[in-house]
Structure 1
Amino acid sequence: MPEIQLGCHTVRSHGVQVAKVHMHDWLILLVLAGIDLGLNLIEPFHRFVGEDMMTDLKYPLKVNTVPFWSVPIIAVLLPLAVILVYYFIRKDVYDLHQAILGLLFSVFITAILTDAIKDGVGRPRPDFFWRCFPDGKGVFDPTTKDVMCTGSKSVIKEGHKSFPSGHTSWSFAGLGFLAWYLSGKVRAFDRRGHVDKLCIVFLPLLIAALVGVSRVDDYWHHWQDVCAGSLIGITIASFCYLQFFPPPYDADGWGPHAYFQMLAESQNRDESSSNNANSLSVQPAELTSIYVQPHNGAELSRGNSGDTNSMLHGHENGRRHPSIGCL
């Protein structure tokens, strides 16, 4: 596909058309957002935590290095800013729309999987003791030896959501999608061996990894939680990117599937129109040739017919070539 065609489709010219085609996808996103909200409201599973298990759960209760409110900024707004910058450079609404859609699907699907597993597993955080007993005095059931928490219910509820790490999964979902997106745009796998392109691709992944490390340093998560969250995020990001874009190593890896599908449909319509016009133009020449044939100018009429067809073919080729520039 000729890349010169990119830039002919803006939000003003094709935005409504593209949005209508994917209206059901936006509705699904709203459903996913509602599901994730519900998962955050329900009470997670409270697994048994015995007195002898508290040894590994007495890490200090610290403030988040990466606050909760900053996660959407890192995972959504930062990749979105890069996508918007690319749109203002190339002016292609197909790339803009598909990239935003893929990014949001990546984040919301990851959020649902993460929160569902959190609620189902109910693993205590490393600082669970101080969440459960803020005064430092442990209280346990005399029979089962299970904890009998005396702290705030909201703090205790959050203390049962250690596995997997939501900060990490969100970060790898959004920034992992951005890494895929950048790898296609800079043609990181064009077989020319430019390592600087890989540095651009790995930068978002480094930021996501540092977010995961902060969760262990703050004693909000075990290292297994962070590893699981990163795997969930990068896996979902990969699936969502490949749903909307070709692989970065593909010859057409710089653009979305929808863009090339639109080009193919436009070319088919142009070819169909050209063929119809060609058939209508050729018929009079054929009739003239048949009419003139009984006279002595048969050879001349055949020659004229051939010349007419050659002119038509030349005209047809001339029409197809300019259509490559902008559809």
Structure 2
Amino acid sequence: MAWVWRRVGSLLPFHYFHAIFQKRRMDQVELGRHTIKSHGAALAKNHVHDWLILLLLVVLEVILFIIHPFYRFVGKDMMTDLKYPMKRNTVPVWAVPVYAVLLPVSVFLLVYLRRRDVYDLHHGILGLSYSVLITGVITDAIKNATGRPRPDFFWRCFPNGMEVYDKLGNVACHGEELIIREGYKSFPSGHASWSFAGLGFLSLYLCGKIRVFDRKGHIAKLCIIFLPLLLASLVAVSRVDDYWHHWQDVFAAGFIGLIVAAFCYHQFFPPPYDEEGWGPYAYFRALEETRTDSNLAHPPNGTSARPVEAQATNRQARLYRNTVLSPEAREECSPFDDVESGRR
């Protein structure tokens, strides 16, 4: 094995420069090899359980939307903040999935047409779907459990303006049943939570794709990242302006949507500030497997020792990058790593 390590040592300088300065270029060259036609069926089969659970979330969301909420006690002295006029939605319900789901999916498709990476397309759509549906389930579950009256509850309960209360002092509503039931679903806001779940996921996705945190100081990229969040914020504000929600409702909803979006995004993609934040984890795993299989199937000069040599070189390169790019990693290296790398 001694001659192998001497041979590796002679190759290390070239490999260091190749790994540091050309790794990203090599990854870009590999783009286009994982398309819907070549890998789509296998990828969908591998995630069939995720899609089945997604269907269960859809069913659960429908059930939560249909069932009755908790009818909270509303006394006469509580009506002071619940007498705002009833208004139409500035952002209709049907528009929410359009901008929170279809808009991000359109961006995913555009990226796919450019890079031909089915892993990016599949995981983007799957992560987005889970983001909005998990947020929807959480939001509607809290809505039904809380039963907070909307700011316009008075006119939902008493459309003719004549107040009626029972012997316990609770409201005795005489309006339409569906309108009254909807009046107990103020906290949190569904429009706001879905908006921040979908557009927050899109913001993280774009952040990685355009490499906002590449340390080159192109701060104008932030305008692209904040645009989806601005749209979600305006939708949330419209819910307060329309007197469908209190400000606490939209604030909590935005928080829920962003937290769920972050969890779902990081399930499939590296952090946006990561060097490989522009692609999904699955793409880099497939890329590594392809290169490993290629090295094993086609060893240079027909010698069986070359794959071992290549693996040792890759190990040395990773160790070199850790010590150069992360000084603190030098302290974490074991004595065996020091011996292998030639420092001892």
Using structure 2 for the length normalisation, give the TM-score.
0.80
Deviation by residue 1:160-200 (Cα, 9 ceiling, x = unmatched): 00000000000000000000000000000111111211000
Q: CA deviation at 1:271?
A: 2.8
Q: Give the Cα–Cα distance (whole angstroms) in 2 for the partners of residues 181 and 11 of structure 1.
A: 20
Q: 1:155 to 1:276 in 2, by over 3 A?
A: same
- The equivalent position to 2:270 in structure 1, one of 246, 258, 268, is 246
Shift of 1:7: 1.9
Match of 1:150 in 2: 174
- Structure number with larger C-alpha Rg: 1
Q: Give identity over the alignment, percent.
A: 60
Q: Report SS of the residue matched to 2:94.
A: helix
Please tell me the residue identity of whatever aligns with 1:206: L
| Equivalent residue letter for 1:154 | L
Q: Is 1:225 aligned with 2:249?
A: yes
Is the partner of 1:106 in helix, strand or coil?
Answer: helix
Residue equivalent to 1:111? 136
Give the drift of 1:267.
Answer: 2.2
User: Residue deviations 1:233-261, cap 9 Å, x none?
Assistant: 01100010000000011010000011111
Displacement after TM superposition at 1:85 (Å): 1.0
Correspondence 1:170 to 2:194: yes
Among residues 26, 30, 49, which one is paired with 1:24 in the alignment?
A: 49
Shift of 1:3: 2.2
Name the residue aligned to 1:181.
205
Q: State the Cα distance separating 1:68 from its structure 2 match.
A: 0.5
Kindly state the Cα deviation for residue 268 of structure 1 after the two structures are TM-superposed. Answer: 2.4
The equivalent residue for 1:210 is 234
The amino acid that maps onto 1:46 is Y
Q: Which amino acid aligns with 1:140?
A: Y
**Alpha-carbon offset, residue 279 of structure 1:** 4.8
Question: Whole-Å Cα distance in 1 between the matches of residues 32 and 157 of structure 2?
Answer: 58
Q: Any stretches of 5+ residues in structure 1 without a counterpart?
A: 283-308, 315-327
1: CA distance, partners of 2:155 / 2:67:
22
In the alignment, which residue of structure 2 is the partner of 1:92?
117
Q: Give me the whole-angstrom Cα distance separating, in 1, the residues matched to 2:301 and 2:156.
A: 78
The residue that corresponds to 1:298 in the other structure is none
SS at match of 2:251: helix
**Which of 30, 39, 45 is equivalent to 2:70?**
45
Equivalent residue number for residue 80 of structure 1: 105
Name the SS of the counterpart of 1:32 in structure 2.
helix
Number of residue pairs matched? 284
Of stretches 202-211 and 269-278 in structure 1, the one that deviates more from structure 2 is 269-278
The separation in 2 between residues aligned to 1:210 and 1:7, in whole angstroms, is: 38
Secondary structure of 1:195's counterpart equals coil
Aligned-partner residue type, residue 55 of structure 2 = L
The structural deviation recorded for 1:276 is 11
Report the CA distance shift for 1:3/1:276 in structure 2 as closer, same or farther (over 3 A).
Answer: closer
TM-score, normalization by structure 1:
0.84
